[in-house]
Amino acid sequence: AHEAALAARNKDDLRSPICCILGHVDTGKTKLLDKIRQTNVQEGEAGGITQQIGATYFPVDAIKTKTAVLNKDGSQEYKIPGLLVIDTPGHESFTNLRTRGSSLCNIAVLVVDIMHGLEPQTLESLRLLRDRKTPFIVALNKIDRMYGWQAFPDNDFRDSLAKQSRAVQREFEDRTQKTILAFAEQGLNAVLYYDNKSFARNVSLVPTSAITGEGIPDMIMLLVNLTQQRMSDRLMYLSELECTVLEVKVIEGLGTTIDVVLSNGILHEGDRIVPLRELRIKSAYVHHSEVKAALGVKILAPDLEKAIAGSRLMVVGPDDDEDELMDEIMSDLTTLMNAIDKS
């Protein structure tokens, strides 16, 4: 079984990375999410973006459309099948979303308002990211609020910056320098992403506007490059399932359902899961007989009332001892309840 598991790991068959958004209140986390979800009507549909259970899935074709302004010569490689973005911005979702004790999020976007710099909850987010060792980029948002900014919707950031007046360019440089200094005070080397020569050593700043869409192609491209260049080991499929329960809900006509993020592995209809049985899979209310990570899925099964948000989901294999798995789940739950008690 171990050999099979190793054989299943393949750098050419990566799963979709999971991305979370964090930052101080009002920096534009929700607005950024709305903007990246929006399909670009003028350039034809960025097909296949689906808002799932607590998450939005961007298949690679949608990512290609959204980053097209940065790939005019077509030389960019896209190795990930898509990107799953968790829809609930903020700390709570980030702290509670865990799999095997580590964060569910493979990569995070820390949003900073370029007009305000680092704020109290930015520092709190930084602590969380460091504790979890989660790689992250910084969206330096609200660039359109700089006095005199001329908007070029959905543009590549550097092209937009080049078209601004000298005064706007100077304001941008000043504000960016201040932010870099503030990060330095936190012991972090921050640099504009296009000047970043080492992803390992420096944090990338990507200027964005959630209103005009400028810099958003840059932000998505950066997520693509960072995940596929630096994280391919963590993005290989596991033969085991990694699933996290987001929410337990009662829906009229369906009964009790659980919303889960499938962060790794493949979930099949009919899989027996503990502490649940007989699985039916619904993803965005489309019926699937099998789903591959990473996705948000809604699961219908008997006895779901007993599922607890934040807990792990396990599939019972032919050789597995269901009691042993139950023990593991119970110890997970104890850890989880302790974590909830503390927060």
Q: Which residues bind ligand GDP (CB under 6 A)?
A: 23, 25-31, 89, 141-142, 144-145, 209-211
Residue nearest to ligand GDP (CB): 28
User: Which CB sits closer to ligand GDP, 142 or 298?
Assistant: 142
- Report residue 111 as tokens: 């949003």
Q: Considering the complex, what minimum distance in angstroms separates the CB of residue 141 from ligand GDP?
A: 5
User: Which CB sits closer to ligand GDP, 117 or 317?
Assistant: 117
User: Which CB sits closer to ligand GDP, 138 or 243?
Assistant: 138
User: Which CB sits closer to ligand GDP, 50 or 141?
Assistant: 141
User: Which CB sits closer to ligand GDP, 33 or 62?
Assistant: 33
E-state strands within 10-59 = 18-23, 50-52, 55-59
Q: What angle do helix axes 216-230 and 29-37 make, rounded to 10 degrees?
A: 90
Contact 275, 327 (CB under 8 A): no
Strand, helix or coil at 179? Answer: helix
Q: Considering the complex, what minimum distance in angstroms separates the CB of residue 213 from ligand GDP?
A: 9
Q: Considering the complex, what minimum distance in angstroms separates the CB of residue 172 from ligand GDP?
A: 14
Give whole-number Cα distances, 90 to 36, 108, 163, 255, in Å.
17, 11, 34, 29
- Report residue 303 as tokens: 């006895």
Q: Considering the complex, what minimum distance in angstroms separates the CB of residue 81 from ligand GDP?
A: 28
Q: Considering the complex, what minimum distance in angstroms separates the CB of residue 215 from ligand GDP?
A: 9
Which amino acid type is present at position 176? Answer: T
26: left (phi over 0), alpha (psi -120 to 50) or beta: left
- For residues 308 and 335, give the distance between their C-alpha atoms in angstroms, rounded to a whole number: 12
User: Which CB sits closer to ligand GDP, 24 or 298?
Assistant: 24
Q: Considering the complex, what minimum distance in angstroms separates the CB of residue 226 from ligand GDP?
A: 22
- End-to-end CA, the chain: 39
DSSP string computed for 235-254? TBPPSS-EEEEEEEEEETTT
Contact 132, 197 (CB under 8 A): no
Q: Considering the complex, what minimum distance in angstroms separates the CB of residue 340 from ligand GDP?
A: 23
